[in-house]
Structure 1
Amino acid sequence: MRIKTVRTTVPTEVTRDGETFTVNKHVDRRVITVFDVHRAVRRAVTAATVLVVGIALAWSVTSIGALLGLAAPTWVAYLAAGAFDLSWAVLMAAEWSMQYDDRAKIPRVAGWLALAVSMTAIATEGQLHAGLWIGIIGAVISLLAKGLWTVMMMITAHPLSDESYQIVQQKRSRAGEELALTVVDRELIRIRQETAALWESGSLTAVAWDAEGITRKALAETLADAIDESPEGIDEAPDPESDGSGIRADPIRQIDPDQSGGSEHFVPRSGSIKELVQSVMADGITDPAAVVAEVQADRPDANPETIKRMVRLHRVNGSG
């Protein structure tokens, strides 16, 4: 037990000229500290275990690398030895991180199996180059490292009652659910963003029409033929742009205002929303509301805000 002085800050009210302020004042306090032997031992055991594991890995890589070097280039042999020996060390770390989980049994069993294979390889190398006993002693180094790691886990782990264990599992399950939902939500947001981008570019609409075997050009020609064959309210005056068959080169058809009660025209257009907006504005229609109505007549699914944004971009670019 020892006594040491600790300086801390304490909020204090101070009054100046009738006005109160809160300031932080430095205060020295004497604190009695007690040396925690158990904590010091746990830290020492952990440090020693990590050191022994490092030594065991170094010896194992050296031995297995020398063994594999009989059949492969030196640098390849030692790389393979490192991957070969790191397996049981990684499994030990996984076992430690999952010590309160039922699945910890998997890395525990796999770690012991990987250690057995590693020890066999070390003993074989020792027998070939220095004698069987040297190989056995070298293999025991890895066994000691694994054993110390197991002891360290027993020291650092906190035993749980059956009730506490069930509570921990339920909380872990909720945490896993939140993590899974986060992943799914991110994927859903990405898919929706991609879908919205495709709708804005007109790609989805074009795909849908092609899938049905109906193109916009075919629809425009069909509607034009239907208007030509209609006996009501069609202007039959010859058109200098006609090809002689009574059908204009473009799909625009005028309807007699006297028959329809107003000025109406049907303009089948194709392309993306941007192209539709440019086509409408090229006809002299510049009012955003009117452009929205014209585009939606051809694309009922078009978003009005997207159309207005395309109108603004068209104006900024100096095209209209």
Structure 2
Amino acid sequence: MKTRTVTRKQLVPHTVDGHTELVLAEFEIELPRPPRDWDSIVRAGVTVIACALVTVSLVWTTASIGDLLSLAAVAAVAYAAGVAFDLTWIMCMGVEWLLRYDPDRAALAKRAGNVALLISMAAVFAHGRYFGQWPVGAAGAAVSLLAKGGWTIAMRAHARPLDSRTAQWVAKRRAAVDGQLAMIPVRRELLRGEALVEAERQARIAESGGSADPDRPGPSADRPDPSAAVRPNRSLTTKDAVRKVWDRGIREADPAVREIVQLLGRPVSPDTVERYLRDLRAEAS
């Protein structure tokens, strides 16, 4: 059995002048060498070859179509446009790979990639035909076809097919998680909107000199208040204000933002409030 030498470290006692301390000492051990994984090696080789084919196709297509388009446009612009022909179907294949466990969504990317490939091949063939070298144009068009075919085969080597029931289970779980992810920006947008509305209300109250709370009785005639508007509390931080509303029993972000705005006398970031509330929930648990 083949073995390999591995260097390990271990704490050992070491004494100098009667004082013993634990120090790191290195030692070597022999471990069995695992057999070579030829499947992984071949799979990696197939992937590298597929990437090389795509790169060659991209360069050839850009050169051919860029030369054709340069007859009617500046060379820099023509070659930049030539890149788009192969990049389109390459991008579609990437999307197809990302959606490999969702055949319904991947179908559109697959069809779009095939259409983009045909357009790219037709443009390369047109370049050769225009210059009277149709065999060169046909061979150049076949480069893109071979590259896409090679990449498709490479993706099949990496694919992990799912049976019908497992695919349905994955679809349901993905739908549930996607719904939760979709609600994150929605909640943030709502919190930002509520904070802006509250800030606008506070600003109008400050301009008019009215009370911040319409249900709260006005100042006593014996002790008039020159301004009932909420004044900014510079000594109180947002984190302290979150702690205060937490102690009052407020656990949700929306009412917490409204209370904190009242305490601080200035608008606050809903994301910051949500983060502090999350930390307090973690402490409480």
TM-score, normalization by structure 1: 0.60
What is the Cα deviation at residue 274 of structure 1?
A: 4.9
1:118 counterpart residue number: 120
Structure 1 contact 201–274 (Cα < 8 Å) conserved: no
Match of 1:182 among 184, 188, 196: 184
User: Which of 116, 135, 138 is the matching residue for 2:137?
Assistant: 135
Counterpart of 1:52 in structure 2 is 53
Residue correspondence of structure 1 range 79-158 to structure 2 within 5 A: 79-102=80-103, 103-158=105-160
In 2 relative to 1, CA 136–307 (structure 1 residues): closer, same or farther, beyond 3 Å?
A: closer
Which amino acid letter does the alignment assign opposite residue 38 of structure 2? Answer: V
SS of the aligned residue for 2:31 comes to strand
CA RMSD of aligned residues (A): 3.5
Quick one: distance in 1 between partners of 2:76 and 2:141? 22
Are 1:194 and 2:187 an aligned pair?
no
Q: Which residue type is aligned with residue 190 of structure 1?
A: R
Residue 144 of structure 1 and its aligned partner are, at CA, apart by 0.2
What is the TM-score of this pair, normalised by structure 2? 0.67
Instruction: Name the structure 2 match of 1:305.
Output: 263
8 Å CA contact 1:6–1:31 kept in 2: the answer is no
What number of residue pairs does the alignment pair up? 224
Shift of 1:129: 1.8
**2:173 pairs with one of 171, 174, 181:** 171
Residue 61 of structure 1 aligns to which amino acid in structure 2?
T
- Give runs of aligned pairs for residues 252-267 of structure 1, distance below 5 A: 264=222
For residue 96 of structure 1, report the CA deviation from its aligned partner. 1.2
Question: Quick one: which amino acid aligns to residue 106 of structure 1?
Answer: L
Deviation at 1:108, TM superposition (A): 0.7
Give the drift of 1:202: 2.2
- SS for the counterpart of 1:6 is strand
Q: Within 2, Cα distance between the matches of 1:89 and 1:81?
A: 14
Deviation at 1:305, TM superposition (A): 3.0
What is the distance in 1 between the residues matched to 2:61 and 2:262? 69
Question: Unpaired segments of 5 or more residues in structure 2?
Answer: 14-20, 211-219, 233-258, 267-285
Report if the CA contact (8 A) 2:61-2:85 is conserved. no
Q: Are 2:57 and 2:86, in contact at CA under 8 Å, matched by a contact in 1?
A: no
Q: Could you say if the C-alpha distance between residues 304 and 151 of structure 1 is closer, same or farther in structure 2, counting changes exceeding 3 Å?
A: closer
* Larger RCO, structure (CA 8 Å, separation 6 or more): 2
The question of whether the paired residues in 1 share the 8 Å contact of 2:125 and 2:141 is answered with yes
Partner secondary structure for residue 202 of structure 1: helix
Report which of the two structures shows the higher radius of gyration computed on alpha carbons: 1
Aligned residues with identical type, % of pairs: 32
Native 8 Å contact 2:47 2:154 kept in 1? yes
Alpha-carbon distance in 2 for matches of 1:22, 1:166: 57
Q: Which residue identity lines up with residue 152 of structure 1 in the other structure?
A: A
